Amino acid sequence: MTFAGKVWRLLVGIKDALALLFLLLFFLALYAALTVRPSPGAVRKGALLLELDGSVVEESSEVDPLQLILSSDLPAREYQTRDLVRAIDAAAGDERIRAVVLDLSRFLGGGQVHLEEVGAALDRVRGANKPVLAFATAYADDALLLAAHASEVWVDPMGGAAIMGPGGERLYYAGLLNRLSVTAHVFRVGTHKSAVEPFLRNDMSPEARADAQALNSALWAEWQADVKKARPAAKLDLVTRQPVEWIAASKGNAARAALAAGLVDRIGDRAAFGSRVAELAGKDTWSDAPGAFASTDLAPWLAANKAAKPGKAIGVVTIAGEIVDGDAGPGTAGGDRIAALLDDALDDDLAALVVRVDSPGGSVMASEEIRRALLRHKARGIPIAVSMANVAASGGYWVATPASRIFAQPDTITGSIGIFAVVPTFEKLLGEWGVTTDGVLTTPLSGQPDLAAGLTPETSAMVQSVIEDGYARFLTLVSRARGKSPEEINRIAQGRVWDGGTARQIGLVDQYGGLDDALAWAAGKAGLKDGEWHARFLGSGSDPYHSLLREMMGSGEAQTRAPALDMVALLATRQQGMTQQLARDAQRLLSASGAQAYCLECPPQRLPAPREAKSGLVSLLGTWLRD
């Protein structure tokens, strides 16, 4: 009995300890939930402080709880473009805000179209006779594109600036696959459909090189035009064409070189910068820290300036990131998730619908799921417009075909009308290790695709036929949408990518404009005047658990920040994209996905989460591979 009593007391003690632990966690979670939500009451007279310690995106991704638990690092912060623009525009007309301050020391960049939209909002602040001040340890292209719109640009004495321009190297794997004796069976249509070239070649094809050169030249011209308009005195030619001489003239001091080239206005550390802001916006009465100034952060400012919702709703559905099968997202365009959002909105009595696309494409099946859901709205007789952000190519253009009007910016990347599929087999590799195959076949497709024996001619021919039929379907969709013959579309398709300006000239885009222009057009077509409508972003309700997870895992705001980047670190971070590219390419080769409409020349996107394959024929072959 004594032993049994001890065991019982031990079990009771464990039970009580667990109860106390869960009770403690409950109250911690409750406290975090009550304190993490921004309060409009936190707005103060002074500056609107935009500490952009992350990237500017079309749609922010969700926080994965499992990833947070297993990883010691929080994912980089993401700031939705529309939130930044709304916050800045509200600051322009609010007497409590005396200045807008950009802290770009930890800025990770964003798409060119997004940054130009934010820059235009900063111009409106300056047009309201309010100063805009920017500070960073080091500036690269994206940060400079924003900072150019500031009335004062500061750089740390230990920092500087560098302009690299678009373009760069990418990885090609034909030599590696040949050395490993891996066969990548590629099926594609389109002379310019270069998304599969990394698995077939050791270098760019002439067609891909011509596309990349034309596209990057257009983006580069737009970047320079925007910066020169905002900062006419900036010596961009010196910085970009003679970078060594430019730095040498300041004896290697990058900060002084940036000042001499007109990229920045003042050199000073954070304390000096803060003191300057305090002169304009007021001192911080809550802090005696060097450089403290009165300010309001982005989150409480947005909470205090919610978007107005007059009149009828115009729906906005966002297709951001790679288009994949399943429910992935936000931040990745899961076809089932987006189709479900659209179907749920069928009963919402929307006056019109705007499709905001920022995607290089992806799964053909998922793109078609989204297109069909859009057609169900079109059948209701409401106007549908497409607003293209940085990228709307391949599958991103597929989903644009139901629209009656397509808006894009000159530096939007679009087109890439073509599809492909990749199926790897390992018959050569296994043969080198003495692994052979034998069996009984009842049809030419028995056991196909065979990892060890490769693809039969019949399987290869069948898959190529499916891809060609998909391309013909793509041409038909575009030709009907654009009022042209399939032959006319084929001449500008072939997987070729276009900048927004050229796309407008050849008829793939109707007019220049951003999301606001597309909304105004849709409202006009719906017979609504200003003040009689508002935008409703489908599926954009904020998840209260995301901020809670960040707060609990990060142990406070200060814990979540990465260190400020100096010039060397800033340059080094650009090379991290190479490892991400390797991961994306490996996933594309081995994921057994279905037919793909994806743009290689488009900016890299987030890696999609694992998803369930759809039932397309090429996807079905992929599932056989996995089995």
Cβ-based neighbours of 351, under 8 Å, separated by 6 or more: 312, 313, 314, 382, 522, 523, 526, 528, 533
Q: Active-site residue 525, yes or no?
A: no
Identify the CA nearest to 517 among candidates 454, 509, 420: 509
Partners of 560 in the β-ladder: none
Three state DSSP letters for 18-53: HHHHHHHHHHHHHHHHHHHCCCHHHCCCEEEEEECC
CA angle (589 as vertex; 583, 594 as ends), nearest 5? 120
Tell which residue, 508, 419, 414, 416, has the closest CA to residue 472. Answer: 419
* Axis-axis angle for helices 335-344, 364-378 (nearest 10): 10
Residue 502: count of CB within 10 angstroms of its CB = 19
Distance separating alpha carbons of residues 326 and 336, to the nearest angstrom: 5
H helix runs in 282-435, sequence order: 298-304, 335-344, 364-378, 395-398, 427-432
In the annotation, is 394 catalytic?
yes
Measured distance CA(489)–CA(470) in Å, rounded: 15
The answer to whether 161 and 242 are in contact (CB under 8 A) is no
Question: Burial, 272: exposed, middle or buried (Cβ in 10 Å; 0-12, 13-18, 19+)?
Answer: middle
Task: Pick the catalytic residue from 60, 105, 295, 394.
Answer: 394
Tell me if 371 sits within 8 A of 401, measured CB to CB.
Answer: yes
Peptide bond between residue 131 and the one before it cis (omega within 30 degrees of 0): no
Burial group, residue 47, by CB count within 10 angstroms (0-12, 13-18, 19+): buried
> Which of these is catalytic: 130, 193, 484, 614?
193
Rounded to 5°, angle at Cα 262 from 257 and 266: 75
| Residues that are catalytic | 193, 394
